[in-house]
Amino acid sequence: QENEIKLLAAEIEHLKNFGCLGVSLSLEGLRDENAKLKYRLNFLQRSLREERSKMAKSMININSCLQDIFGAAIRAAYPDLENPPLVVMPSQQPRFGDYQCNSAMGITQLLLKTKEQKVSPREIAEKITKNIPANECIQKVEIAGPGFINVHLRKDFVSKQLSSLLMNGVQPPAVGKRKKVVVDFSSPNIAKEMHVGHLRSTIIGESMCRLFEFAGHDVLRLNHLGDWGTQFGMLIAHLQDKFPDYLSVSPPIGDLQAFYKESKRRFDTEEEFKKRAYQCVVLLQSKNPDFIKAWELICDVSRKEFQKIYNCLDITIIERGESFYHEMMKDIVKEFEDKGFVQVDDGRKIVFVPGFPVPLTIMKSDGGYTYDTSDLAALKHRLCEEKADTLIYVVDSGQSVHLQTVFAAGQMIGWYDPKVTRVAHAAFGVVLGEDKKKFKTRSGDTVRLIDLLEEGLKRAMDKLRDKERDKVLTAEELKAAQTSVAFGCIKYADLSHNRLNDYVFSFDKMLDDRGNTAAYLLYAFTRIRAIARLASIDEQMLRKAAREEVFILDHEKEWKLGKCILRFPEILQKILEDLLLHTLCDYLYELATTFTEFYDNCYCIEKDRQTGE
């Protein structure tokens, strides 16, 4: 941007000279061109000022700073070495400093492999430390063991970062250019209730959206509803029989799950009904207005049920179901045919993708489309129309092969280049009961999500009453506490587990206020707020102190807490890259326990025994 500003300023001078020299450019044209350039110059200068201001307020990623320092030291020490390993991480024990650079061992292997030089890791570590450039964050380095470089941070550097954090608030670290991020999550099926299987996709997907939004990206949250397909034939046929006047009187479908089961039973047992159901599908797909109305009625009943759950869990999402992509599917088939990727197998049109044994079926023998077709259409629309830089599918691990095949097909046909656009499957395991089997009701049915949330509310209220919170809170405050604890604990229990693994759902564990749970974090947070309230200190007073005074980090628990707070940007950077949100939960738990240690050792407030103040 700075270079462009210089060039534009020179261009404006150049245009002025043109006018003086009498070159055949009309005065109006010259003014117009000059005005455009000045506007562009002003825009660039303003955006550069904003960017600088934002970066000045951003939290510094200390790990990244140290990587830059050690990267420069390694290049200076070994200029001929291509892509030397760069490993910097926080130290696990205070006696080993604050961070460690563990690159020496990897460089030893690389020198042996590429140059046939046998050099000890300790010798390499010594050479690296001699080439560390001048910087503001390292106090001293020490070489330990076979070649670990222990890094001690400067206290005045940490103090300065804490002051900046207090004055500017928690600002995300600079993460490069703003990207368009599309997240596909939740995705229940119309006419079926959301069950415990939808819980993980909904919670993880919402959290990923919040993460990318916090980092400053433009996020599109999509709900790929199962709102199209052959099942609608039987539902519409059953609707016509049960509520023949549905076009003029809105049908009172109270229990859509029961309605679905009735239509499925008739479809499986009544041949005449089955034939009529197939005719209904044809009429629906040909956009017959009466059948579109019936389809919309069924979708609306489901939407209202889904929204109850989204309201409970504070989910924001845009509906864009399979029906949205229906008109695009014939073009998808044609595109694959035109590029010679389609084979015909027993009347079906299939596409083999290199490296995947099972082909994609893009058209059935009866001319109908499949999930493969709608998923390809959705992928193309998100990449080519929405112009996604990052596309994340929060879908269970069971769909992994299918999604990887669809992604590879999109790459094969030229919709995206994985070096430029990130297309990722954020897979997750299943929810288990306490018996370590798939989470079911006692009768063996899938657990309805709404029942689970209601049970959570009941358990949270019982817990609050056990703690006698009902005696000190108003009815309104108690209700707010109940929902915060219930839904917070359900969300956090999911997020605090590695999403790749299955996890055991246990209300007892998630409502426990000991260990890495939402209940413990809520308790720690409340305690911190209580200290500030009792001390009668508000954020303005703290900001003023941060501007005028220097943080003195003398006590070991103070130093530990200060460093822990400043690790937030590197945690954020890590989860933006690997999408494993449990790392943030682990960090928050560490922060809460580190604060508790600090609180127990360093008094923040004391009561005057005479005045009680």
Q: Which of 40-49, 350-359, 597-606 has the lowest mean pLDDT?
A: 40-49
- CA distances, 232 to each of 250, 283, 362 (Å): 18, 11, 20
Average pLDDT, integer, range 437-457: 83
pLDDT of residue 586: 97
Among the listed residues 379, 391, 286, 298, the one whose alpha carbon sits nearest the alpha carbon of residue 336: 379
Among the listed residues 525, 446, 521, the one whose alpha carbon sits nearest the alpha carbon of residue 489: 521
Average pLDDT taken over every residue of the chain: 89
* 165 part of a folded domain: no
Among the listed residues 498, 567, 502, 565, the one whose alpha carbon sits nearest the alpha carbon of residue 528: 565
Of 316, 346, 375, the position where a domain reaches its end is 316
pLDDT of residue 20: 46
pLDDT at 39 over 70: no
pLDDT of residue 24: 46
What is the rounded CA–CA span in Å between residue 518 and residue 588? 10
Dump strand ranges (E) for 243-373: 318-319, 342-345, 348-351, 360-363
* 164 part of a folded domain: no
375: its two tokens: 């998923």
What is the rounded CA–CA span in Å between residue 164 and residue 160? 6
Among the listed residues 523, 517, 591, the one whose alpha carbon sits nearest the alpha carbon of residue 561: 591
* 492 part of a folded domain: yes
Beta bridge partners of 361: 350
Confidence of residue 31 (pLDDT cuts 50, 70, 90): low
Same domain membership, residue 569 and residue 480: yes
- The answer to whether residues 128 and 70 touch, using CB atoms and an 8 Å cutoff, is yes
Note the helical H segments in 58-149: 62-77, 104-115, 121-130
pLDDT, one tens digit per residue, over 72-107 is 999 999 999 989 999 999 998 888 999 999 999 999
Percent of the chain with pLDDT over 70: 90
Average pLDDT, integer, range 164-189: 90
Same domain membership, residue 346 and residue 197: yes
pLDDT of residue 507: 87
**Share in percent of the chain as helix, strand, coil (round to 5):** 60, 10, 30
Token look-up 């939740």 returns: 186
Dump strand ranges (E) for 224-333: 318-319
Beta bridge partners of 148: 144
Q: Specify the DSSP element, H or E, that contains 168.
A: helix 155-168
Percent of the chain with pLDDT over 90: 64
Confidence of residue 285 (pLDDT cuts 50, 70, 90): confident
What is the rounded CA–CA span in Å between residue 356 and residue 400? 12
pLDDT, one tens digit per residue, over 530-584 is 888 888 888 889 889 889 988 889 999 999 999 999 999 999 999 999 999 999 9
Q: Which residues contact 419 (CB under 8 A, 6 or more apart)?
A: none
Same domain membership, residue 422 and residue 453: no
- The answer to whether residues 165 and 566 touch, using CB atoms and an 8 Å cutoff, is yes
- CA distances, 397 to each of 205, 394, 404 (Å): 14, 9, 11
Same domain membership, residue 404 and residue 498: no
- The answer to whether residues 101 and 149 touch, using CB atoms and an 8 Å cutoff, is yes
What is the rounded CA–CA span in Å between residue 613 and residue 602? 19
Same domain membership, residue 331 and residue 188: yes
Average pLDDT, integer, range 513-519: 90
* 173 part of a folded domain: no
30: its two tokens: 């010259």
180: its two tokens: 């368009």
Backbone phi, then psi, for 191, in 5-degree steps? 75, 0
Confidence of residue 52 (pLDDT cuts 50, 70, 90): low
Same domain membership, residue 540 and residue 418: no
Same domain membership, residue 296 and residue 273: yes
Under DSSP, is residue 67 helix (H, G, I), strand (E, B) or coil? helix
Average pLDDT, integer, range 284-313: 91
Token look-up 């629309």 returns: 381
Of 153, 169, 196, the position where a domain reaches its end is 153
Within a 13 Å sphere around the CA of 287, how many CA atoms are in the beta-carbon half? 3
Average pLDDT, integer, range 474-503: 94
CATH number, domain containing residue 130: 3.30.1360.70
Confidence of residue 50 (pLDDT cuts 50, 70, 90): low
- The answer to whether residues 191 and 231 touch, using CB atoms and an 8 Å cutoff, is yes
pLDDT of residue 25: 46
What is the rounded CA–CA span in Å between residue 108 and residue 115? 10
Backbone phi, then psi, for 425, in 5-degree steps? -100, 110
Range of the domain at 328: 180-226+321-428
Long-range contacts of 84-92 (CB under 8 A, 24+ apart): 84/110, 85/110, 88/63, 88/151, 89/63, 90/63, 90/567, 91/150, 91/151
Work out the widest C-alpha separation in the chain, in whole angstroms.
Answer: 93
Dump strand ranges (E) for 446-493: none
DSSP 383: I
Same domain membership, residue 359 and residue 299: no
pLDDT at 146 over 70: yes
* 436 part of a folded domain: no
CATH number, domain containing residue 216: 3.40.50.620
Among the listed residues 427, 356, 360, the one whose alpha carbon sits nearest the alpha carbon of residue 392: 427
Same domain membership, residue 514 and residue 566: yes
Same domain membership, residue 205 and residue 325: yes
CATH number, domain containing residue 549: 1.10.730
Q: Which of 44-58, 118-132, 210-224, 512-526 has the lowest mean pLDDT?
A: 44-58
* 271 part of a folded domain: yes
| Bridge pairing between strands 99-101 and 148-153 | antiparallel
Same domain membership, residue 267 and residue 131: no
* 560 part of a folded domain: yes
Q: Which of 485-489, 510-514, 561-565, 568-572 has the lowest mean pLDDT?
A: 510-514
- The answer to whether residues 521 and 117 touch, using CB atoms and an 8 Å cutoff, is no
Same domain membership, residue 312 and residue 326: no
pLDDT of residue 23: 45
The number of beta carbons lying within 10 Å of the beta carbon of residue 541 is 12
Average pLDDT, integer, range 41-45: 65
- The answer to whether residues 48 and 1 touch, using CB atoms and an 8 Å cutoff, is yes
* 258 part of a folded domain: yes
Q: Which of 58-62, 209-213, 264-268 has the lowest mean pLDDT?
A: 58-62
Q: Looking at the 3D structure of the chain, how many domains does it have?
A: 5
Average pLDDT, integer, range 388-411: 97
Cα 383–385–390 angle (5° rounding)?
Answer: 30
Of 287, 316, 345, the position where a domain reaches its end is 316
Strand order in the sheet with 99-101: 88-90, 99-101, 148-153, 138-144
Burial class (CB in 10 A: 0-12, 13-18, 19+), 280: buried
pTM of the entire structure? 0.86
pLDDT of residue 184: 98
- The answer to whether residues 132 and 143 touch, using CB atoms and an 8 Å cutoff, is no
Cα 397–403–408 angle (5° rounding)?
Answer: 140
- The answer to whether residues 1 and 43 touch, using CB atoms and an 8 Å cutoff, is no
Phi-psi region of 342 (alpha: psi -120 to 50; beta: other; left: phi over 0): beta
- The answer to whether residues 370 and 362 touch, using CB atoms and an 8 Å cutoff, is yes
